[in-house]
A and B are shown apart, each in its own frame.
Chain A
Amino acid sequence: LAKTTQPISMDSYEGQEVNITCSHNNIATNDYITWYQQFPSQGPRFIIQGYKTKVTNEVASLFIPADRKSSTLSLPRVSLSDTAVYYCLVGAPMDSSYKLIFGSGTRLLVRP
């Protein structure tokens, strides 16, 4: 399984765009990149998933360069409610189990 590296914590202010970068140098051909969000005492929640280039949904954008060795989660105009831990995960969802291997994540604090 590809190891991921992301910042331990980030601070931002309401209304700003936040970009969280994740390194995954050993990503395999079949691996997808997935981001989850977790609030205290709640289960993780899927944000976005991609394989290459750019993916956008109503919540976030995911930028993946051509070599796929890193990815950037972009949260536009964050609010206080975006304060959470954000996890970057790399794995091959076609595996029969597709277990999610969580790292320590990035603790995002959004200030007023």
Chain B
Amino acid sequence: DSGVTQTPKHLITATGQRVTLRCSPRSGDLSVYWYQQSLDQGLQFLIHYYNGEERAKGNILERFSAQQFPDLHSELNLSSLELGDSALYFCASSVGGGEGTEAFFGQGTRLTVV
């Protein structure tokens, strides 16, 4: 158990809908990262938050947004869903936002858009 909790584990929704994925980081971790893994693809970095502030954006679509709350949990909002958004979405957390410290991953949310 990495200590990172993601809910829900599975989500099936229709095209055009909006969903929210939730992540609770490990106790004490200030950084939260979101990654997308599509079929046969690697882990694509979406966005990084550190202590409530956005630190970096990767290949995140404009239809997607995220935030980190004062209690450090994070939510990834996906709207106007398309079939191609079907993927595994991983959240990871680490202690800091500075030099490389390993990130710990949750078990992921599998999103299926039908």
Are A and B part of the same complex? no
